Structure 1
Amino acid sequence: MTTRTPLTLAVVGTGPRGVSVLERLAVRLDEQSRRDGCAPRPVRIYAIDAREVGAGRIWRTDQSPWYTMNTVAGQVTMYSGGPDGGPARPGAGPSLGEWLAGRRRPGERVPGPDDYAPRAVYGQYLRSVHRAVAGHLPPHAALESVTARVLSLTPADGGGYRLGLDRPPHTLLADRVLLATGHPLKEPDDAERALLDFARRHPGVRYVRGDSAADLEDELDETRVPPGAAVGVRGLGLSFHDVLLTLTVGRGGRYARDPGGALRYLPSGREPRIVAGSRGGLPIPARGRNEKSPGHRHQPLFLTAQALAAARARRARATGDGRLDFAEDVLPPLLRELDQVYWTALVRARSGPRRAARFAKRHAAAVRDGRDTAALLAREGLGGVPGLDPAALARPFAGEDFTGPGEFRDRLLRVMERDLAEAALGNVRGPRKAALDVLRDLRSAVRDAVDHGGLLPGSHRDAFAGRFLPLNSLLSAGPPAERVEQLHALIRQGLVEIAGPETVFAPDPAGGGFLVSSPRVRGSARTVAVLVDARIPTPDLRRDTAPLIRGLLRDGLIREFVTVGTDGERHRTGGLDVTPGSGQVVDAHGEPLPGVHALGIPTEHTRWFTQVGSGRPGAETGFHRDADRVAAALLLDGGERRGTPERGTPERRTTERRTPERRTPARTVEEMVV
Structure 2
Amino acid sequence: MPSRVPAVAFVGGGPRTAGVLERLAANRPSLFDGPLDIHVIEPHQPGSGRIWRYDQDPGLLLNSTAADVTMFTDASVACDGPTVDGPGLSTWAAGVLDGTIRDIPALEPHLLDQLRSLTPASFPSRQLQSKYLEWFFRRAVSSLGPDVTVTVHQDTATAVERLSDDGSHHLRLASGAEVIADVVVYALGHTDSLLDPESARLSDFAATHGGFHAPPSYTTDVDYSAVEAGQDVIVSGMGLAFVDLLVLLFQGRGGRFEERPDGDLDYVPSGAEPRVWAGSRRGVPYHSKISSELRGEPVARPRYFTAEAVQALLAEHQELDFRTQLWPLIAKDAGYAYYRELFTGYPSRVLGTWESFETHFDAAPWYSSAREELVAVSVPDPALRLDLEKLDHPLSGCAFADHDAVQRSVAAYIQNDLNLRTSSDHSETLALFTALLFVYMDLGRLVPQERLNARSQQAIHGWWHGFFSFVDSGPPSHRLREMLALHRAGLLKFLGPGMWVRADETLGRFVAGSFQSPVVVDASAYIEARLPSASVERSANPALLHLHDAGWGTEQRLLTSAGAHSTGKLLVSGNHEVLSPVGIPQKGLFAVGPWTSGWGAGAFARPNTNAAPFRENDALARRILSTVAAVPALQPN
Regarding TM over 0.5, the answer is: yes
Q: Does 1:455 align with 2:449?
A: no
Which letter maps to 1:414?
A
In structure 2, the partner of 1:101 is 94
Name the SS of the counterpart of 2:213 in structure 1.
Answer: strand
Q: CA deviation at 1:121?
A: 1.4
2:369 and 2:379 mapped to 1: Cα distance?
19
Name the SS of the counterpart of 1:572 in structure 2.
Answer: strand
1:62-73 aligned within 5 A? 62-73=55-66
1:160-309 aligned within 5 A? 160-167=168-175, 170-203=177-210, 205-216=211-222, 219-221=223-225, 224-289=226-291, 291=293, 298-309=300-311
2:587 and 2:268 mapped to 1: Cα distance?
58
122, 126, 136: which one aligns with 2:133: 126
1:262 and 1:416 mapped to 2: Cα distance?
13
Q: CA deviation at 1:360?
A: 6.8
Q: CA deviation at 1:245?
A: 0.5
2:601 and 2:522 mapped to 1: Cα distance?
35
Which letter maps to 1:556?
G
544, 554, 557: which one aligns with 1:559: 554
2:376 and 2:595 mapped to 1: Cα distance?
49
CA 1:326 to 1:172, structure 2 compared with 1: closer, same or farther past 3 Å?
same
Name the SS of the counterpart of 1:228 in structure 2.
Answer: coil
Which letter maps to 1:99?
W
1:592 and 1:284 mapped to 2: Cα distance?
39
2:524 and 2:11 mapped to 1: Cα distance?
39
90-99 vs 123-132, which deviates more? Answer: 90-99
1:560 and 1:374 mapped to 2: Cα distance?
42
- Is the 8 Å Cα contact of residues 302 and 435 (structure 2) preserved in structure 1? no
619, 627, 631: which one aligns with 1:629: 619
1:234-633 aligned within 5 A? 234-289=236-291, 291=293, 298-315=300-317, 322-351=318-347, 358=355, 361-367=358-364, 372=370, 382=380, 387-425=385-423, 430-448=427-445, 452-461=449-458, 463-465=459-461, 467-522=463-518, 524-564=519-559, 569-580=563-574, 582-603=575-596, 606-608=597-599, 610-618=600-608, 620-633=610-623
- Is the 8 Å Cα contact of residues 100 and 110 (structure 1) preserved in structure 2? no
Structure 1 residues 334-371: Cα deviation after superposition (integer angstroms, max 9, x where no partner): 11111111211211232299x97646743553347989
149, 152, 176: which one aligns with 2:159: 152
Which letter maps to 2:182?
D
**Gaps (5+ residues) in structure 2?**
77-81, 99-111, 633-637
CA 1:425 to 1:24, structure 2 compared with 1: closer, same or farther past 3 Å?
same
Structure 1 residues 373-403: Cα deviation after superposition (integer angstroms, max 9, x where no partner): 5786578564766521122123222222222
1:632 and 1:292 mapped to 2: Cα distance?
38
1:325 and 1:530 mapped to 2: Cα distance?
42
2:465 and 2:614 mapped to 1: Cα distance?
24
Structure 1 residues 90-125: Cα deviation after superposition (integer angstroms, max 9, x where no partner): 934201111112223798633322222112211111
- Is the 8 Å Cα contact of residues 453 and 563 (structure 1) preserved in structure 2? no
Please report the RMSD computed on the Cα atoms of aligned residues, expressed in angstroms: 3.0
Which letter maps to 2:398?
E
- Is the 8 Å Cα contact of residues 9 and 46 (structure 1) preserved in structure 2? yes
Q: CA deviation at 1:619?
A: 5.3
1:194 and 1:598 mapped to 2: Cα distance?
32
Name the SS of the counterpart of 1:109 in structure 2.
Answer: helix
1:31-50 aligned within 5 A? 31-32=29-30, 40-50=33-43
- Is the 8 Å Cα contact of residues 305 and 445 (structure 1) preserved in structure 2? no
Which letter maps to 1:291?
E
Matched residues, percent identical? 27
Name the SS of the counterpart of 1:94 in structure 2.
Answer: coil
Structure 1 residues 107-147: Cα deviation after superposition (integer angstroms, max 9, x where no partner): 86333222221122111111001111233332211211111
CA 1:568 to 1:273, structure 2 compared with 1: closer, same or farther past 3 Å?
closer
Between Structure 1 and Structure 2, how many residues are aligned? 607
- Is the 8 Å Cα contact of residues 361 and 371 (structure 2) preserved in structure 1? no
Name the SS of the counterpart of 1:442 in structure 2.
Answer: helix
2:494 and 2:377 mapped to 1: Cα distance?
43
CA 1:607 to 1:7, structure 2 compared with 1: closer, same or farther past 3 Å?
same
Name the SS of the counterpart of 2:277 in structure 1.
Answer: strand
Name the SS of the counterpart of 2:533 in structure 1.
Answer: coil
364-373 vs 251-260, which deviates more? Answer: 364-373
Structure 1 residues 523-563: Cα deviation after superposition (integer angstroms, max 9, x where no partner): x2222222111111131222212221221112211122233
1:585 and 1:331 mapped to 2: Cα distance?
29
2:84 and 2:2 mapped to 1: Cα distance?
29
Q: CA deviation at 1:466?
A: 5.4
CA 1:19 to 1:366, structure 2 compared with 1: closer, same or farther past 3 Å?
same
Q: CA deviation at 1:275?
A: 1.0
Name the SS of the counterpart of 2:616 in structure 1.
Answer: helix
TM-score by length of 2: 0.88
CA 1:128 to 1:500, structure 2 compared with 1: closer, same or farther past 3 Å?
same
CA 1:408 to 1:615, structure 2 compared with 1: closer, same or farther past 3 Å?
closer
Name the SS of the counterpart of 1:506 in structure 2.
Answer: strand
CA 1:147 to 1:640, structure 2 compared with 1: closer, same or farther past 3 Å?
same
- Is the 8 Å Cα contact of residues 347 and 380 (structure 1) preserved in structure 2? no
- Is the 8 Å Cα contact of residues 76 and 616 (structure 1) preserved in structure 2? yes
TM-score by length of 1: 0.83
Q: CA deviation at 1:291?
A: 3.5
Q: CA deviation at 1:615?
A: 3.2
- Is the 8 Å Cα contact of residues 595 and 640 (structure 1) preserved in structure 2? no
Which letter maps to 1:8?
A
Which letter maps to 2:23?
R
Name the SS of the counterpart of 1:23 in structure 2.
Answer: helix
CA 1:135 to 1:155, structure 2 compared with 1: closer, same or farther past 3 Å?
same
CA 1:239 to 1:383, structure 2 compared with 1: closer, same or farther past 3 Å?
closer
CA 1:344 to 1:314, structure 2 compared with 1: closer, same or farther past 3 Å?
same
2:74 and 2:89 mapped to 1: Cα distance?
13
Name the SS of the counterpart of 1:635 in structure 2.
Answer: helix
In structure 2, the partner of 1:20 is 19
2:322 and 2:162 mapped to 1: Cα distance?
40
Greater relative contact order (Cα < 8 A, sep 6+): 2
Which letter maps to 2:539?
D
2:461 and 2:27 mapped to 1: Cα distance?
37
CA 1:175 to 1:378, structure 2 compared with 1: closer, same or farther past 3 Å?
closer
